[in-house]
Structure 1
Amino acid sequence: MKNIIRILLPALLLQACSKEIDTETPALDVRMEHSTIKAGEAVNFLINSDANVLSFYSGEVLKDYEYRAGRVVKLDSIRLSFSTSLNYGTQKDQFAVFISNDFNGDYTADGINAATWQNITSLYKLAPGNSNTAIPAGVRNITEYAVDGKPLYIGYRFIVKPQTANGGSKLWTMSAFSVTGHSILGSQPLADHKSAGWRVILQGLHDPGRGAIIQAAQLAFYGNNLNYKDELQEDWVISKALETGATDMGPDWGTGIKTLPDPPLTSYQYAYEKPGKYIATFIGKNVNSHSEKQVIKQVEVTVTP
């Protein structure tokens, strides 16, 4: 008899421990009170579940179950805008805007000449004549000039030919500089006048205070007006490297809506701010110190304006 007890006791203990360690897959059913809602209004999810832990992914950007392992966001477009003004002088074709994706960051004449610069001046409408007011040049998509893995540089060039033969130099200004990236995350600033990291490269002889000058809210370009009016003058102002590549946003995260100590959850309200179709995901889990089992329920939400 003692031997039988010795044999049965470990088996009974093992069976008891197995029951303690194991947990059952929870039941989970989710329905919507209304299948279509308006933006800004709360949708009421009706929940029937015995899960002791519940979490929720709304299906919005950065809250989408599909991207729970990670999300890499690429820019759909890059837009450059600025304003110009000009005064005085008669010389033509002095001001131009360029873009490069192979400039190596050497802010010298040699560095400029070693890079490939695309002249994109024709994309913009520059100030047509003397004006004390800056005139918007337009907002243009410059995505085609971006290359994956390479930064983008914006450069403004100001050329003054010998003025006796070619006419007096104009005074140009460039203001309201803005580069924005656009993606599923919306619009994000890549650079403005203060954050552009402008660097000036002067070529040729310059009278005091003349050439390209970085001012508080604009770039100003002055031709020589004293001793060097008949010297060829070429000035550049170039931005810092603008990063336009994909961004690793990490995983999308859900929101915990019920924890182990909480009572059963029978409904959950959530408001979508933007119209669209979303896949809302609910995850029910039964957990203990030894195991975890889960079930997933998804419903489609239609949000109208």
Structure 2
Amino acid sequence: MKYYAFIYRTLIIMTIGSLMLQGCKKGENNDDDGSSGEFELVGYTVQDGVDTEGNPKKRVTFQLSGTDGLDIAFFSGDIGGNYENRDGSVQKLEELNLSFETNCSYGDQGCDVDVFSIMASTDFNGGDSEADIRAAEWENITDRFTISPFESGTTVYHESGVVNIADLTSEGKPLYLAARHITQSQVVDGVLDNIYTAFRVRNWTMSGGMEGEAPVVLSTTIGEAGFKFVEIGNFRSGRNVLSATTLTLRGNHGNVTANMEHLDTETECWAIAEPITLSDISIEPDRPLRVKQSHQPAVKTFAFNYNGPGEYNAVFVLSKDDGSGESVAKHVTIVIPE
């Protein structure tokens, strides 16, 4: 059984070692060795720079005081260094969009939901029998879409509209979608009447997107969606046709004398697409950079290369090696101009 799945980018955290830089902020006490008083971010400066691969960066140099005896970790607020993500995060599924086109034509049984419907299930077992279909719980979602009214021919198709069906998904479970076509008995008082209505479906297009990510196209055609038929009832051979571009769903045909057993009966065809399995994505925690450990000498400066201009929420996390496990977060908004 083939499953569609999203492929997501892995955030790569590049640790940049602390740099001891020359230069002082105006008004800084140059005799301070960084050990006096409580921790304080005195200020910061911004310079154009490059990383080890020669890529342009914005180098921010922080002037610090009161660092003696402290473990100091640094969250930059840049990609991979967000304090808010220190315990990890979950990327939520936001969109699972479905659209298609239908044509309803021929016959007398109409184009309503009792003839053609779009069905969804998260507990279907993927089997090929009527028992498998009946054992699953299916939700009729036809009313979310625009379905073709009756047309005199097979050339005019109607767009369903693009519908977000992400609410139908269940964490870790496959979502099955199906087009169901039902034909009632076509014999009235012993003569052929109430002729079946034919439905055609094409351009089955699905795309999905996670929070903050561009949508990923899953299918644009019937063939790519991987449909299969489960036929229920006494069908004549070849009545339902599956091609790379089109689903053709029809009832039985023929004259009453030769085909009574096929015409005076109800038939039901399920065209079921391959399942889609979608899950929320757990993102690994963002990790801080170490400025210093408590046993190391006090420091006066610390530098970090930001990816570009913008406003960043940087955080210095302070703790002591006293066994208490307590820490204090010092937040600072970094504004980097163009």
State TM-score, norm by structure 2: 0.58
**Could you say which residue in structure 2 is the equivalent of 1:46?**
60
Matched, 1:219 2:247: yes
- Once the 2 structures are TM-superposed, how far is the Cα of residue 171 of structure 1 from its aligned partner? 3.5
Q: After superposition, where does 1:73-88 map in structure 2 within 5 Å?
A: 73-88=91-106
Contact 1:86 1:132 in 2 (8 A): no
Which deviations, in whole Å up to 9, do the C-alpha atoms of 1:281-303 show, x marking residues without a partner?
A: 799xxxxxxxxxxxx98654689
* 1:270–1:197 CA distance, 2 compared to 1 (3 A): same
Deviation at 1:280, TM superposition (A): 5.3
Displacement after TM superposition at 1:122 (Å): 1.1
Q: Using CA pairs under 8 Å that are at least 6 residues apart, name the structure with larger relative contact order, 1 or 2.
A: 1
Indicate the larger mover: 182-191 or 96-105. 182-191
Matched-pair contact (CA < 8 Å) for 2:96–2:206: no
Q: Distance in 2 between matches of 1:180 and 1:199?
A: 22
Instruction: Quote the Cα distance in structure 1 between the aligned partners of 2:45 and 2:96.
Output: 39
Name the Cα RMSD after superposition.
Answer: 4.2
CA distance in 1 between partners of 2:171 and 2:288 (Å): 31
SS of the residue corresponding to residue 133 of structure 2 reads helix
**Greater Cα shift, 202-211 or 150-159:** 202-211
2:136 matched to which residue of 1?
Answer: 115
Q: Cα deviations across residues 199-219 of structure 1 (Å, max 9, x unaligned)?
A: 2101122333212x3321232
In the TM superposition, what is the alpha-carbon distance from 1:142 to its structure 2 partner? 2.4
More helix by share: 1
CA distance in 1, matches of 2:180, 2:121: 13
Task: Look up the match of 1:158.
Answer: 181
- Which structure 2 residues correspond to residues 1-305 of structure 1 after superposition, within 5 A? 31=44, 44-48=58-62, 59-60=78-79, 64-68=82-86, 70-92=88-110, 93=112, 94-130=115-151, 132-163=155-186, 164-189=192-217, 193=221, 194-211=223-240, 213-226=241-254, 227=259, 228-252=262-286, 268=305, 270-271=307-308, 278-279=312-313, 299-300=332-333
Task: Count how many residue pairs are aligned between Structure 1 and Structure 2.
Answer: 249
Write the distance in 1 (CA, Å) between the matches of 2:334 and 2:149.
52
* 1:76–1:63 CA distance, 2 compared to 1 (3 A): farther
Distance 1:300 1:199, change over 3 A: farther
Which runs of no fewer than 5 residues in structure 2 stay unpaired? 1-33, 48-55, 65-72, 187-191, 290-300, 318-328
Aligned twin of 1:5: none
Amino acid at match of 1:156: A
SS, match of residue 83 in structure 1: strand
